[in-house]
Amino acid sequence: MMDQAKLQEVFSDKAYVESIAKLSAEDAAKSLREKGVDVTADDLMQVRDFLMKHKEEAQNGELSEDSLAEVAGGSAGAVACLAIASFLLTCSGTIMLLAW
């Protein structure tokens, strides 16, 4: 389970988030693990796929109940993806710049 306080700390640094958005999924995951966020490249790819699937909602910074239901009660990886996605949504402009 991801520590919400750790996610908040890491993803509140907009410069850092923008820097990892330019990395490969593998390098971004490694960097996040070095910051104490237990995530894999596959988790990050799930984040990207989820955000791209819900691109319009993501650009508005909100996800519908239907979108959230896709991951509700899902695997730990899916829940981790939702947590990461929610923090990425707070970094305006970052989502469309994801290299992974």
Selected residue with higher pLDDT from 13 and 73? 13
Residue range(s) defining the domain that contains residue 72: 4-97
How many whole angstroms separate alpha carbon 43 and alpha carbon 78? 8
Q: pLDDT tens, 51-69?
A: 777 777 666 666 667 766 6
Across 18-23, average pLDDT: 86
How many whole angstroms separate alpha carbon 29 and alpha carbon 37? 8
CB 94 within 8 A of CB 21: yes
3-state SS class at 90: coil
DSSP 91: S
How many whole angstroms separate alpha carbon 68 and alpha carbon 64? 6
- What are the CA-CA distances from residue 33 to residues 71, 83, 84 (Å)? 22, 15, 13
Selected residue with higher pLDDT from 77 and 50? 50
pLDDT at position 34 is 95
pLDDT at position 44 is 85
Q: What is the largest CA-CA distance in the chain?
A: 33
Number of domains forming the structure of the chain: 1
